Amino acid sequence: MTGGDQLSGGNTPGTEQGIEHEEFHNDIIMMVDDEPLMLGILEVYLVQAGYRNFIALDDSTRAVQLIKEEKPDCLFLDIHMPEVNGFEILEAVRADPETRQLSVIVLTSDTDPATKLKALEMGVTDFLEKPVDSSELVLRLRNALIAKAYRDQLTYYDGLTRLPNRVLFQQRLEAGVTSAQRSSSGLTLMIVSVDRFQNVNDSLGPMAGDAVLVQIAQRLGELTRDAGYDQRKGQEGTARCLGRLGGDEFAISLPGIVGEDQIAEIGDQVTQVMKRPFEVQGEEVVLTASLGIARFPTDSIEASQLLKHAGAAKEVAKKEGRNTLQYYTSEFTERANERRSMEADLHKALDSHQLRLHFQPQLDTASGRVTGMEALVRWRHPTRGMVQPDQFIPLAEENDLILAIDGWVIEEACRQTRAWHLAGYEGLQVSVNVSARQFRQPDLAEQIREACQRAELAPSCLTVELTESLVMGNLDKTARLLHELKDIGVTVSIDDFGTGYSSLAYLKRFPIEELKIDRSFIGGVPGNHEDSAIVRAIVAMARSLELEMVAEGVETTDQYQFLEELQCDRVQGLLLAAPLRDAEFVSFLAKNWNQIEQSG
Ligand code: C2E
Ligand code: MG
Ligand code: MG
């Protein structure tokens, strides 16, 4: 399918050139009639009217095949022909999804209404009576082409930007790949994805978002056109083309371009045009874009694969901080496959009891006693062995799986802690990590209250660890959620403190009771001057705000002494113990609880 360019001005977004007669002169007109003379007459008339591309066929047996191959924009079809007649051709054309939409004008000398009725039933577009009148011929053809262009516009173009949509873009890419294959040259596909476009919609509204997208389409359109885009028919394969894949994603096909220098240069141009502020509703909007690149034939010889690969590269560009250009490598596919298989396994993990909790003790520096522990989840995978949370929590966080995991962790941590209370370790405290998605559950406090109730654990023995970035979201909502947690009696702790958002105002505003200083700072004390200064500052601030402080990642006695001198309340880390299985943890407690209690 090639049509539609004529209506939209090809790749010129936003310009509506109207439906003009000349616009159709490059359209492919096919004529099937068993009388060569008739074909000659039609062609003469059409040439006079300005048309240039004809396929004339007097052998009706080849018609269906040729229509499929050449994809004409309009077909003149004689009905009475030997061997294969017009009705049979029409039937085959309408039955094939690829040609179903073809405009067909039937040539008939029949004034017989039954023949006309039958043709109409079979979906002909129009009739033309023999002998043919030249003005009538041209008008009927024009009308058929207008109707076709309108259909194409709806089917193949994006209504907002007027760029080719995903369907047409992919067809053009396929044409590009075929043509590159034929000429033994290369082709580069570039996906341009606007970074954080949702912010524009959220802050200025969807109308403003649409206006920005139109401007982006215009700028990218200028870029591709300036670089020699040729919209003539039959040029699809060799011309650059731009399309909107959907949402905030655009794609550019660059035939003949494979060198990294050239690609970098074009990538640079795209980055530059994106950087220029966009004006919408009197406001300036500043945006960046992430670019994903896939190349023919290196990365794939199939258009659909190239699109997939460039998409994967774009995802990596987004993850690596956005505003970057990323080439596809086969690793991405491996990684994506790996992730998919991990994710499928993770769905089964909960039901098949593959998740475990490990417990890492926390020591109170003033008394020298073990007062509690952090519950850390592990996944005992049947073939991969023990999988650490860093490898599967982010995966689970991408969907609702994390809710089930966090829910299970809370239940299990409460149950285990209560069991240890009953075994004589009364007052033992447990901390659990809560992910962003879990935190945003409106009934989180209620869930936790019920979990404590089921386990018969006093909520005061439970600490909920949240990260800084998590509580910095919607401030009112966060305040409400944190108050609900405080009201049921659990302690709220900020995990990895110092690595997230640097606004400290929230510490006063929210009912937070504990800070866990991130282990990246602890790693540097006492040797590293800056880390030491940061830790001192955090401890001083926490003290003045009357917050409990926990240092995590304490590995050496030097670090411990430094923290003890600062009167940091508690420490956690390999110096004491790694996260331990329940049996190991209980023997750790058995060894340390009494002995430490006596000494403390
Ligand atoms: P986190 O909450 O900051 O947990 C502390 C991490 O530091 C743990 O890694 C722990 O094993 C590690 N660690 C403990 N002592 C030391 C030390 O002395 N040196 C060093 N270098 N590291 C130490 P882990 O268990 O791999 O957990 C990593 C992260 O995964 C956690 O960071 C937490 O954000 C997340 N996570 C773990 N369990 C859960 C869970 O049940 N639910 C959720 N949502 N997230 C969890
Ligand atoms: Mg934690
Ligand atoms: Mg932490």
CA-to-CA distance for 333 and 290, rounded, in angstroms?
19
In a domain, 7, yes or no: no
CA-to-CA distance for 491 and 514, rounded, in angstroms?
8
CA-to-CA distance for 171 and 166, rounded, in angstroms?
9
In a domain, 8, yes or no: no
In a domain, 12, yes or no: no
Contact 139, 44 (CB under 8 A): no
Token readout for 400 is 């609702």
Q: Which atom of ligand 1 is nearest to the CA of 402?
A: 44
- Residues contacting residue 352 through CB under 8 Å, at least 6 positions apart: none
Q: Whose CA is nearest to atom 14 of ligand 1?
A: 573
> Where a domain ends, among 294, 328, 362?
328
Compute the chain's Rg from CA coordinates. 35
Q: Whose CA is nearest to atom 27 of ligand 1?
A: 389
Q: Assess whether 217 and 345 both reside in one domain.
A: no
Q: Give the mutation target among 354, 357, 376 for probing the ligand 1 site: most ligand atoms within 8 A of CB.
A: 376
Q: Which atom of ligand 1 is nearest to the CA of 406?
A: 42
Query: How close is the Cα of 552 to the center of ligand 2, in Å?
Result: 9
In a domain, 541, yes or no: yes
Q: What is 92-153 written as a DSSP string?
A: HHHHSTTTTT-EEEEEE----HHHHHHHHHTT--EEEESSPPHHHHHHHHHHHHHHHHHHHH
In a domain, 1, yes or no: no
Total of domains in the chain: 3
DSSP 8-state symbol, 499: S
Q: What is the pLDDT along the chain (600 residues), one digit of tens a residue?
A: 443 333 333 333 333 333 446 889 999 999 999 999 999 999 999 999 999 999 999 999 999 999 999 999 999 999 989 999 999 999 999 999 889 999 999 998 766 788 888 889 999 999 998 889 999 999 999 999 999 989 888 889 999 999 999 999 999 999 999 999 999 999 999 999 999 898 888 778 889 999 999 999 999 999 887 554 444 444 556 788 999 999 999 999 999 988 899 999 999 999 999 999 999 988 889 999 999 999 999 999 999 999 999 999 999 998 887 778 999 988 888 887 888 899 999 999 988 999 999 999 999 999 999 999 999 999 999 999 999 999 899 889 887 899 999 999 999 999 999 999 999 999 999 999 999 889 888 899 999 999 999 999 999 999 999 988 777 766 788 889 999 999 999 999 999 998 765 567 778 888 999 999 999 999 999 999 999 999 999 999 899 889 999 999 999 999 999 999 999 999 999 999 999 999 999 999 988 876 444 443
In a domain, 333, yes or no: no
User: Does the Cβ of 498 fall within 6 Å of ligand 1?
Assistant: no
Strands ordered across the beta sheet of 28-32: 53-57, 28-32, 74-78, 103-108, 126-129
Amino acid at 207: M
C-alpha 348: how far from chain center? 25
Q: Assess whether 389 and 300 both reside in one domain.
A: no
Beta bridge partners of 53: 28
CA-to-CA distance for 249 and 232, rounded, in angstroms?
25
Token readout for 531 is 């880390």
In a domain, 506, yes or no: yes
Q: Which atom of ligand 1 is nearest to the CA of 360?
A: 14
- Candidates 207, 206, 190; CA nearest to 249 is 190
CATH number at residue 62: 3.40.50.2300
Q: Assess whether 280 and 196 both reside in one domain.
A: yes
C-alpha 402: how far from chain center? 19
Q: Assess whether 447 and 537 both reside in one domain.
A: yes
User: Does the Cβ of 209 fall within 6 Å of ligand 1?
Assistant: no
In this structure, the chain runs to a length of 600
User: Does the Cβ of 552 fall within 6 Å of ligand 1?
Assistant: yes
Q: Assess whether 434 and 403 both reside in one domain.
A: yes
Distances (CA, A) of 171 to 56, 240, 244, 374: 26, 13, 13, 55
First to last CA, the chain: 83
Helix (H, G, I), strand (E, B) or coil at 28: strand
CATH number at residue 344: 3.20.20.450
Q: Assess whether 404 and 545 both reside in one domain.
A: yes
Q: What range does the domain containing 111 cover?
A: 17-156
CA-to-CA distance for 333 and 331, rounded, in angstroms?
5
Q: Which residues surround ligand 3, an ion (CB under 5 A)?
A: 495-496
User: Does the Cβ of 360 fall within 6 Å of ligand 1?
Assistant: yes
Contact 483, 471 (CB under 8 A): no
Q: Whose CA is nearest to atom 4 of ligand 1?
A: 376
Q: Assess whether 368 and 240 both reside in one domain.
A: no
User: Does the Cβ of 435 fall within 6 Å of ligand 1?
Assistant: yes
CA-to-CA distance for 459 and 453, rounded, in angstroms?
8
Q: Assess whether 280 and 134 both reside in one domain.
A: no
- Residues contacting residue 428 through CB under 8 Å, at least 6 positions apart: 371, 372, 373, 417, 420, 421, 461, 589
CA-to-CA distance for 356 and 353, rounded, in angstroms?
8
In a domain, 4, yes or no: no
Q: Which atom of ligand 1 is nearest to the CA of 397?
A: 44
CATH number at residue 216: 3.30.70.270
Q: Assess whether 590 and 475 both reside in one domain.
A: yes
Q: Assess whether 319 and 467 both reside in one domain.
A: no
> Where a domain ends, among 328, 361, 394?
328
> Where a domain ends, among 94, 126, 156?
156
- Residues contacting residue 475 through CB under 8 Å, at least 6 positions apart: 506, 509
Q: Assess whether 293 and 409 both reside in one domain.
A: no
CA angle, 497 then 503 then 509, to 5°: 95
Q: Assess whether 107 and 230 both reside in one domain.
A: no
